[in-house]
Amino acid sequence: MISESTALDLGYLSIATAGRQLGEGSLTATSLATALFNRIAVTDTSLNSFVRLMQESAMAEAAAADERARAGRRLGPLDGIPIAVKDLYDTAGVVTAGGTAAFNERVPNEDATAVRRLRAAGSVILGKTNTHELALGGTTNNVYYGPTHNPWRLDRVPGGSSGGSGAALSGGQALGALGTDTGGSIRIPAAFCGVTGHKPTYGLVGRGGVIPLSLTLDHAGPMARTVEDCALMLTALAGPDPRDLDSAMREGEDYAAALDGGISGLRFAAIPSLVEGCTDDVRASFERSLDVLRSLGATITVCEPMAGYDDWRAATATLLVTEGAAYVESILRERPQAIAEPTRTRMSHGLDVSGTAFVRALEARKRIESRFEAALTEHSLDAYLLPTSPNTAGPIDADRYTDAAPPTVFRNTSVFDLSHQPSLSVPNGFDRDELPTGLMISGAKFADALVLRIGHAYQQATDFHTLRPTF
């Protein structure tokens, strides 16, 4: 039996460090997986990160990874690494419910493309993490599986909708995780839980076998403790996906290869209208982050790609509910009680959106993409910088499983779902209640390697990503 202290230490290894130890033979995949399952058993009564564990198959995957390691045939840096999977990603033979009773008996025949790619890289799939119902919300207060708790303060939300993945990482229950991001659902939990999350360029990571919310806005991507870990995961995840009609059908690259290139001479811009309205503590963390980046040789200016244009706010809501309702239309019409409130009501509104309103929302999205891409070129910018969220994690409302997140939570993140550009959140401080804050770095389409390089440079100069909650 692995001790609780050993399980704690192993649970907070980075993927890169664990991969090196597995390669050297100083750590085995079976001992690592065993330690994490032990830790999950001890901590998940407090966190409720997981809705379904896959222990038998995970231990078999770990044993296979150990056999490869002994034979000198490791598949790469993810071989033997324990990964948690958001309960929107299909896992062959294992229920994928999307956080709703409507799908509580839904057992897919094959893995989602992202899960298949991770398994091909040797990853050990630990289980399925909690999500806001059908991914439509920012708290991960789930009426069927219960709320997920933030490891930094158990009375606070972890963010949503990938809150289970964020809490699992923050709580030392997994070394990496899959999330999805439609309005900020990778980056908000990353910021609220003090971990790292990357929303790749739209279409770079295939969504085949992922329960959709909005096909126009949905992004699949990695969450981990560090930028380097996200880069290692993205290297395995990126690539063509014939099952995703919006796949970029573009080969990925080695996203970790250029991480150490530094940022001296790069030029970044804050967006004043999206910094305005942040809490004092969030803004203070952001200003300190700018100072760090300046000290590394970057130039920071300001830019307003959205000047005089406000339609983007309504566009996000219209696309979310209309496309979300289209996926579950038969359920909403024939057995609506299978979807809980308030998701049912919000989705039902999507059935009444006119074709004209939907087309205008699509046009607004394209306008945002055009403006944000053009501004980078016109102002000779390498990236945009913003606080990930204007506020930190709010309290869990234990009596009603509503999306109790303030309406501003997704304000900064959702812009980059509309623009389809890569966007990364890294931990950058704490507020006065000792809740994490996040720095968001976003760049041009398919400049994922550059965005990750900037985040890595920031993490090399700071230690927020190394800190652990004491729940």
Catalytic residues: 86, 161, 185
Q: Specify the residue for token string 């244009």.
A: 309
Which residues does residue 304 pair with via DSSP β-bridges, in sequence order? none
Tokens coding 417: 């779902």
How many of the other CB atoms lie within 10 Å of CB of 366? 14
Structure-block tokens of residue 158: 């972890």
- Cβ pair 455, 255 in contact under 8 A: no
In whole angstroms, what is the distance from residue 342 CA to residue 318 CA? 16
Q: Packing angle between helix 15-24 and helix 227-237, nearest 10 degrees?
A: 70
Residue 278 per-residue DSSP state? -
**CA 458 to CA 388: how far, in whole Å?**
15
d(CA 175, CA 205): 20
Amino acid at position 66, single letter: D
Distance CA 188, CA 159 (A): 6
Task: Give the contacts of 12 (CB within 8 A, at least 6 positions apart).
Answer: 172, 225, 468
Rounded-to-integer distance, Cα 132 and Cα 181, Å: 12
Sorted by sequence, the CB contacts under 8 Å of residue 6 that are 6+ apart come out as 35
DSSP 89: B
Helix (H), strand (E) counts: the chain: 16, 13
Query: Which pair of tokens denotes residue 454?
Result: 């900037």
Among 87, 91, 84, residue whose Cα is nearest residue 43? 84
Cis ω for the linkage preceding 161 (within 30 of 0):
yes
| H helix intervals, 328-438 | 329-334, 343-350, 355-378, 411-419
